[in-house]
Amino acid sequence: MLTRLDHLVILVSDLGLAAADYERLGFAVTPGGEHADGLTRNALIPFGDGSYFELVSFLDPEDPTDNVWGWREFLPHEGLIDYCVASDDLGSDVRRLRSLGFGIDGPDDGGRRLPDGVEIRWRTARMRQEGRLLPFLIEDLTSRELRLPGGPAAEHPNGATGVVRLELSAPDVKEAAASLAMLLETDADASLRLGACALSPVATEKEDSAPGSLAVELAGEAGISQELDPLLAHGVRIWIQSR
């Protein structure tokens, strides 16, 4: 069953610059490493609720080779481009979703080499869809603690503690809600939740806009409510709301 938001993917052109800018916004940024495909590398912003931001960039901006996710198609634009849901049994989840009519690629093996040389591994499955309304799925083969550091790495000077709402652009809000409800095994009229995170489909504002992630709301410590500078956030609309 898919019940927990794993992470949000933020594409950036210059990973070092983006990491420094997110630190200026009050986030603690942890170096991630290079992905097994040799095309991308990342840095992580873990939260206390177990979710995280993944800042990802291509190693060679001039190389036209894309990864299996099709992320290079977004360049030169930066921003929130994808989101991921955790699975404890990816094979079963893929079979269930296929039985419901979803087109899915995978499961496929993936991995990353940490800065200390340790190899971590996972399996993923990707939805066939127009845009990025639906998430991709991940199941860890090595310990998730290796993939996502906790403790001090999840403590941020700006007080952010976790992802509480993800706003999704959709050409048809009712249809989007129905698809997400099937994915999450819940009623279409019920609230759409991945653990502590609410999924909020909203009408696409522009005809040429593709469905997908629009904005994210983070829980913050008492007394902290702010909208972060989208320039420093490299195109991502982020709110921190006091809880």
Q: Over 90: is that where the pLDDT of 232 sits? A: yes
Note whether residue 85 is domain-resident. yes
Report the pLDDT value the prediction gives residue 79, as an integer from 0 to 100: 93
124 and 205 housed in the same domain: no
Which residue range is the domain that position 13 belongs to? 4-144
pLDDT of residue 207 exceeding 60, the answer is no
Same-domain status, 140 and 162: no
Two tokens, residue 43: 């840095």
Q: Which one of 118, 144, 170 terminates a domain?
A: 144
3 state DSSP class of 15: helix
pLDDT confidence of 20, banded at 50, 70, 90? very high
Domain boundary at 144, 172, 206, which? 144
What pLDDT score does 96 carry? 94
**CATH code of 204's domain:** 3.10.180.10
- Say if residue 212 is in the same domain as residue 123: no
Question: Both 14 and 57 in a single domain?
Answer: yes
Residue 103's pLDDT is: 94
138 in the same domain as 165: no
49-59 average pLDDT score:
95
109 and 215 co-located in one domain: no
Q: Which of these three, 120, 144, 168, is where a domain ends?
A: 144
Domain-embedded: residue 152: no
The listed range with the strongest mean pLDDT (49-58, 115-124, 176-185) is 49-58
Percent of all residues in the chain with a pLDDT value above 70, rounded to a whole number: 95
Residues 131 and 204 in one domain: no
Would you state the pLDDT for residue 62? 85
Using pLDDT thresholds of 50, 70 and 90, give the confidence band for residue 72: confident
Q: What is the pLDDT of residue 210?
A: 60
Same domain, 12 and 69: yes
> Is cis: bond before 107, omega within 30 of 0?
yes
What is the total count of domains within the chain?
Answer: 2
Q: Is residue 21 pLDDT above 80, yes or no?
A: yes
Q: Does 66 map to a domain? A: yes
User: Residue 208 above 70 pLDDT?
Assistant: no
Domain presence at residue 178: yes
**How far is residue 220's CA from residue 239's CA, in Å, rounded to a whole number?**
9
pLDDT at 114: 87
In a domain, 41, yes or no: yes
In a domain, 214, yes or no: yes
String of DSSP letters for 166-219? EEEEESSHHHHHHHHHHHHTS-TTS--EETTEEEEEEE-SSTTPPSEEEEEEEE
Q: Is position 151 within any domain?
A: no
Within a domain: 97: yes
pLDDT confidence of residue 188: 67
Judge if 21 and 122 occupy the same domain.
Answer: yes
Residue 171, both tokens = 């050409």
129 and 223 fall within a common domain: no
pLDDT class of 186 with cuts at 50, 70, 90 = confident
Q: If you average pLDDT over every residue of the chain, what do you get? A: 90
Looking at residue 209, its pLDDT comes to 57
Same structural domain, 119 and 47? yes
- 91 & 176 share domain: no
